Amino acid sequence: MSGKKIASIALASLFLLPSLTALSGCNRGGEIVLRVYNWEEYIDEGGKGAFIYDELHLEDGEESDIVDDGYRAWYEETMRTPLSEDGPAILDDFCLWYEAEYGQKIRVEYSTFGTNEDMYNEIVLGNEYDLLCPSDYMIMKLAAEGRLERYDDGRDENGEPDGSYDFFDPALPNNYYVRNVSPFIAEKFANNAGLEVRNDENGKPITWQDYAAGYMWGTTGFVYNPNPTDRAGNPILFKDADGETTDLGTLLASIGWEAFTEPQFKGKVTAKDNVRDTYFAALGVKYQEELLTLTQQFAGGSLDKQGYTDKITGIFNATDEKTISEVEPVLMDIKKNIYGWETDTGKADMVKGNVYLNYAWSGDAVYALDLGEDAEDEDGYIELNYYVPEAGSNLWFDGWVMPKGANKQAAQAFVNFLSMPQNAMRNSYYIGYTSVIAGEEQEMLAYADYLYGEEESEDDFYDLSYFFGAETGTVGIYADEAQRTCRQLYAQFPTPDVIERCAVMDYYDEQASVRINELWSRVKAETLDAWAIVVISVSVLAIAAFIVVAKFGGKIDFFRAKPKKGYKLVKQETVR
Amino acid sequence: MKIPHFSRKTLCIPYAVFLIFFVIIPMLVIVFYAFTDKNMHISLGNFIRFFSDPTKLSTIVYSLVIALITTVICLLIAYPVAYILARSKMKRKFVILLLFVLPMWINFVLRVNALRELFNLLSSLQGMDWLASSNYFKTVFGMVYDFLPFMILPIYTTMLKIDPSLYEASRDLGAGAATTFLRITVPLSMPGIMSGVTMVFLPSMTNYVVSDMLGNAKVTIIGKFIYEYFGTDWHMGSMVALVLLVVVFVSTWLTGGFSSEENVRGANL
């Protein structure tokens, strides 16, 4: 076979490959395929550790409060299947529900990603999905770049109602999302358009709500060990600014973001190994004073709520050159002071006592706190707490979006299915994060009460009215002081004042993105002094030169000794 | 029935297709990305940005140093082991060889994780505090631990091939043990050394799993650099990858990797 032929076969297969993969993605034999691309470990997978299994297998033959007859009845009515003792996975249940509800077989192709950027790259490369779960800033980026389908709003291009499916119509029986979503979240999604208003192709300003339905939300803060001990088991004491002895919790509350650069925490605090979260944290360290002043102004009434939110959002999203040059030394200080950059080892390092503080997302914090409770040591268990800096932090949302070309009907059905309060509980329980679902009948309140509730007592009221869209002071649960101030409840359902002082991330435009990436690469890079670079380069070159001489020296006249008088130089090859 | 006849050329087709799809095209894509900007216009911007940034250069140099140290330590450990094993008349020496190679059969991430836990345990002991923050030491240790078999095996196989009569001849001609070692063993085991060096040197410049897990991601080697850039800026990532490629190419060329002499590559695994 000639070379030409080989080349043409290769070319032909090059064109064949994409069409082959395209075939596998569509409707075959009456079965729909829903391609879901979600974060790793971000959905109920059934079995041990899942809500239903754990409730069905309580110790000592206890009766479950939540998975009672009502829950069982709901499950069997919704999935049209008896509740399995093995703990069903939510994706399987969706297929059962969808087939029963819409009369068509469906299969979920579920894959996962580790970072928003990984997911974005996959989409840009042309991988096709029906449903993605990016975070706030990435939702905005995808929407602004025109990569997303809008949720159906029952209107035609001119905004006139045309009788088509409306995802936001609470009257339709299967529209669980719009009926159950927390009013607080719905308001955020309806109004958040990022730092600046961006328009879609029709010139309409974009908000999250057009393109995304919420899934999970939370804050970022520090998981900390309030009572760290040394090897001998003696408590470690810290000194505050006045030189007074204090404990870790008090010190942390007084220094806030500066925990990253606090010399007493040297080698005992971790930062995130990604530029978005760590740059955000460094801004917090750098501008803590300004942020605290703003908080005081807001508390004193000289700044209204909108103005306050705009100002802190501006500070936490600043990417201009001046800010970057101011933050760079802070990042270098952070690098010197921390134990390490981590992506998922922080929780284990906290429980093992390798570090005292771990910068974490609220859901991971809940997970770390749970791990600590499970870990056995001499004092019973390891107490860990969660703290959101006084100066403000990050308020984040993950939501479901449909990329262009998605099967909108099945994708929206999936979102609605996950938005049933019973399913929201399952997901929330499994992954430790907080669902955006409140429930039509405030079902999630019962869930929070079931997890953290205590005997009723006037002083122990934890107000969750904002989340359920009720008047302040009317809806909430009774929990002990630790839960209300520094433990799982506080992490999962932040207090209204925590939310007020938190800012949502916006995406970086192209130039800002280049600046931030370069900054990050400088921070992560190994720094060598100029003389060290010169010394090392020279020695490497010397070694290289030595090898070259040793290898080829004999073949080059220049390196060869002059022949003695009366002898003639001959080529080495002939001598061999 | 006619037996289908495959000519030599026909049999080459699968290999050619493989080469085109998994070697040549990806390589061209990397070169293309390295010399284009965000709008896919040809640009030298990445090239200039890379070589005018001291932090990037020092990361490469650092990476080189870490890889060099790892390689030298591996060689110092592996050479005596291979020498003793190859020369000894032990009956079951393959058992010892197996013990060195066995870890390769256990999942790599698992081993690194175990090492991480071991270091954590050690650093909590009296007087071992320094271990917790010595990320470079732990990284190099982990790399030596992981890549040692790749050094031992090729050296061992080349040494097995050395004809024992050469040692006898050397002894007969009056050479002492040291001379025999320097003039017979070392030169003849050179191909094995070279092959071992390439197999240890290259992964220790790029295997950032070790540096992330044991060095708490505070040690940045060039592989990690490439990985991070590919999260956000493919063009710069490709440029770094290309620079690494050149470094590798030059070092392979210098160590005789491209020589077609039979015995040079013979020891490769």
Give the model's pLDDT for residue B103.
Answer: 84
What is the share, in percent, of chain A residues with pLDDT greater than 90? 50
pLDDT exceeds cutoff 50 at A574? no
Look at residue A23 in the predicted model and tell me its pLDDT.
40
At residue A16, the pLDDT reads: 44
Q: Which of A353, A349, A347, A352 minimizes the C-alpha distance to A369? A: A347
Among partner residues A6, A115, A345, which is closest to B16 by beta-carbon distance? A6
Contacts of B230 in chain A (CB under 8 A): 121
Contact B13 A548 (CB under 8 A): no
Q: How far is B101 from chain A (nearest CA, A)?
A: 29
Residue A334 has pLDDT above 50, yes or no: yes
Each residue's pLDDT expressed in tens, for chain B with a length of 269 residues: 667 777 888 888 889 999 999 999 999 999 999 999 888 889 898 899 888 888 888 888 889 889 999 999 999 999 999 998 888 887 778 888 888 888 888 888 899 999 998 998 888 787 787 888 889 999 999 999 999 999 999 999 999 989 989 988 998 998 888 888 888 898 899 889 988 988 899 889 989 999 999 998 889 999 998 988 888 888 999 999 999 998 888 877 777 666 555 444 444 44
Higher per-residue pLDDT: A48 or A376 = A48
**Residue-level pLDDT at A90:** 94
- Percent of chain A scored above 70 by pLDDT? 88
Residue B20 lies in a domain: no
Q: How far apart are the first and last CA of chain B?
A: 41
C-alpha to C-alpha distance for B103 and B145, rounded to whole angstroms: 9
Determine contact: B258 vs chain A, CB below 8 A.
no
Q: Does B179 contact A at CB distance below 8 Å?
A: no
pLDDT of residue A83: 86
Per-residue confidence (pLDDT) for residue B1, from 0 to 100 = 62
Which secondary structure element, helix H or strand E, spans residue A343, and what is its range? none
H or E segment and range at residue A245: strand A245-246
Return d(Cα A288, Cα B103) in angstroms, integer. 50
Q: Contact B215/A121, CB-based, under 8 Å?
A: no
Q: Would you place residue A536 in the very low, low, confident or very high pLDDT band (cuts 50, 70, 90)?
A: confident
Chain A residue with CA closest to B17: the answer is: A10
Higher pLDDT, A440 or A191: A440
* ipTM of this complex prediction, to 2 decimal places: 0.82
- B26, part of any domain: no
Beta bridge partners, A219, equal: A395
Tokens of B86: 């190859």
Q: Is the CB of A118 inside 8 Å of chain B's CB atoms?
A: yes
In a domain, B115, yes or no: yes
| Better-scored residue on pLDDT, A541 or B115 | B115
Of the candidates A362, A394, A381, A372, the one whose C-alpha atom is nearest the C-alpha of residue A489 is A362
Q: How many CB pairs under 8 A join A and B?
A: 111
The pLDDT value recorded for residue A520 is 92
Q: Which of B7, B38, B231 sits opposite A117 (nearest CB)?
A: B231
Please give the residue range of the domain that contains residue B98.
54-265
Q: Which residue has the tokens 């069982």?
A: A72
Q: Which two tokens stand for residue A495?
A: 């207090």
For residue A28, is pLDDT > 80? no
- In chain A, the residue whose alpha carbon lies closest to the alpha carbon of B226 is A521
Q: What is the pLDDT of residue A6?
A: 45
On chain B, the residues whose CB falls within 8 A of the CB of A1 are 7, 9-10, 13
Nearest to B58 among A13, A115, A527 (CB): A527
Compare all CA atoms of chain B with the CA of A533 and give the residue at the minimum distance: B58
Q: Does A553 touch chain B (CB under 8 A)?
A: no
Higher confidence at residue A538 or residue B212? B212
Q: Alpha helices, DSSP H only, in A225-383?
A: 248-255, 275-286, 288-300, 305-316, 321-337, 346-352, 362-374
Residue A194: pLDDT band (50, 70, 90) is low
d(CA B244, CA B239): 9
Give A91-139 pLDDT, tens digit per residue. Answer: 999 999 999 999 999 999 999 998 898 899 999 888 899 999 999 999 9
Instruction: Determine the pLDDT at residue B239.
Output: 93
Domain contains B222:
yes
Our CA-based measurement puts residue B220 at a distance from the nearest CA of chain A, in whole angstroms, of 6
**Mean pLDDT of the region A364-368:** 92
Q: Does A12 touch chain B (CB under 8 A)?
A: no
Q: List, for residues A431-463, the tens digit of each pLDDT value.
A: 999 999 999 888 899 889 888 888 777 778 899
What integer is the mean pLDDT of A15-37? 61
A525/B55 touch (CB, cutoff 8 Å), yes or no: yes
Interface probe, candidates A526, A531, A538, chain B, greatest B C-beta count within 10 A = A526
What pLDDT was estimated at residue A561? 62
Considering only the beta carbons, identify the residue of A231, A273, A537 that sits closest to B217: A273
Q: Which chain A residues have a beta carbon less than 8 Å from that of B118?
A: none
Q: Measured between beta carbons, which residues in chain A are less than 8 angstroms from residue B9?
A: 1
Closest-CA residue in chain B for A336? B218
Please, what is the end-to-end C-alpha distance for chain A in angstroms? 42
Least confident of A240-244, A393-397, A466-470, B21-25: A240-244
Domains of chain A: 21-216+397-439 (3.40.190.10), 218-395+513-524 (3.40.190.10), 441-494 (no CATH), 537-575 (no CATH)
User: Within 10 A of A13 (CB to CB), how many other CB atoms are there?
Assistant: 13
pLDDT at position A215, please? 96
Question: CB–CB of B58 and A115 under 8 A?
Answer: no
3-state secondary structure of A214: strand
CATH number at residue B214: 1.10.3720.10
CA neighbours closer than 13 Å in the CB half-sphere of residue A305:
4
| DSSP 8-class letter at B105 | G
Contact of B135 with chain A, judged by CB distance below 8 Å, is answered with yes
Q: What is the dihedral of CA B249, B255, B259, B265, to 10 degrees?
A: -110
Mean pLDDT score, A47-52: 86
Residue B199 in domain:
yes
Nearest chain A CA: its distance from B189 CA (Å): 17
Cβ atoms of residues A415 and A131 within 8 Å: yes
Residue B48 lies in a domain: no
- CB within 8 Å: B13 and A6: yes
Residue A335 with chain B: CB contacts under 8 Å: 218
Provide the chain B residues 75-94 that lie in CB contact (below 8 A) with chain A: none
Token pair 């909590």: residue: B124
**Mutation target vs A (from B216, B239, B249; most A CBs, 10 A cutoff):** B216
Distance CA B135, CA B123 (A): 12
pLDDT of A17 higher than 90: no
Q: Are residues A178 and A167 in contact, defined by beta-carbon separation less than 8 angstroms?
A: yes
**What whole-number distance in Å separates Cα of residue A38 and Cα of residue A122?**
12
Residues of B in contact with A530 (CB under 8 A): 54
Look at residue B40 and tell me if it is in a domain.
no
Determine contact, residues B114/B214, Cβ cutoff 8 Å: no
Domain count, chain B: 1
Evaluate whether residue B103 is within a structural domain. yes
User: What pLDDT, in 10s, does the model give residues A236-252?
Assistant: 889 988 888 999 999 99
Please report the DSSP string for A543-557 in residue order: HHHHHHHHHHGGGSG
